[in-house]
Amino acid sequence: MKGCKRCEVLPGPLPESGVLYIAPPAPPVAASICGFLRRSQIPYSQAYENIYQIKLGPGVLAKLLAEHLSELSQQELNDTKCLLVADGAAPDVPDLVRMQPLSALLARIQGDWLLDLLREDRLRTVFQPIVEAAAPSRIYGYECLIRGLGNSGELIQPAEMFRLAKSADLLFHLDRLTRLSVIRDVIQSSINVSVFINFLPGAVYVPNYCLESTVTALKKSGIPNSQVVFEVVESDDIRDMRHLVNVLTFYRENGFRIALDDLGAGYSSLRMLYHLKPDFIKLDADLIHDVDKDAYKANIAANLLDLAHKLEIKTIAEGIERPAEWAWAKQYGADYMQGYLFAKPDITPPESSGGA
């Protein structure tokens, strides 16, 4: 089976000149755009009913987006469809299928730095230890957290990259390259314990097609599949549970294990626990923060730990920053711990300090 072009082929640079086709969602939006074009003396015409074509020269697209289109509401940007065609090319059916929200084009232009980062393979993994609750000096595994590397060597946080990638239609590319970067860095760091990797179910269409490059990279790396744990982050806005179950079934059939991250952070925790049947659950850091002082949190966390043990699911308490939090989680049966009390994430896999 061939790899997924949707994930593996990065978009090329935007043309300096050409034609921008715009399909506004309603007459008032069309009138606003056309009025700005007339005032700015930017050539345009009506190509089809409710579809306008704008002739672009160098700098025109940036002017259009900076001075007018970016002032549209987010809903208007999302609902206005567009297609950018280079000079001398005529749109065909495949082009029309690729029409995207105007918000995606705007994000793409504002986020050229992210595309450069992906092209130049400037993704790096930082590792945070997951330690045994009863003996924090013993490391069970590492959570592999991705960072971008800026032009000056500064680390770029994942939230900034994934927010922009989602808006600019680059999420599939970023998610795939994140997995491959983690595999590369795990090899370079000679890690021989479990590695926990966050993944976005929404960035996978068909598992055995979209995840082929990941499975192939692991085979070449020599990392046993049983050493890899894929984490489902609940905040990833899970809407299609059947799709998520299909993705996880693919992972399990290939010998990987599954963790449900941030348990207790959202309303759907128990629903996800029932459907996903994970090997691990990670109790959310907000729930663990001051759990020794807050009886309300303590009751929730204790019941989640008890439920997990009855279901024979291993538990990881996240966000441990104080010895009292570690002592509470240990007392109530957490199997593993993760947090600044033991070690902060670092490019060089840190050894747990055993600070508890």
Q: Which among 184, 201, 193 has a CA at the least distance from the CA of 251?
A: 201
pLDDT in tens, 54-65: 988 887 877 787
pLDDT at 304: 92
Instruction: Decide if 5-110 and 115-337 have a common fold.
Output: no
Lowest model confidence (mean pLDDT) among 110-114, 156-160, 200-204, 341-345: 200-204
Lowest model confidence (mean pLDDT) among 42-51, 104-113, 132-141: 104-113
- The pair phi, psi for residue 333, each rounded to 5°, is 100, 15
pLDDT at 60: 82
Domain ranges in the chain? 5-110, 115-337
Strands 100-101 and 314-317: unpaired
Q: Is domain 5-110 in CATH 3.30.70, yes or no?
A: yes
Strands 280-283 and 155-156: unpaired
CATH superfamily of 115-337: EAL domain (3.20.20.450)
CA distance 207 to 263: 24
CA angle (130, 308, 283) in 5-degree steps? 45
pLDDT in tens, 258-267: 998 877 555 4
Report which residue type is found at 70.
S
CA distance 260 to 272: 8
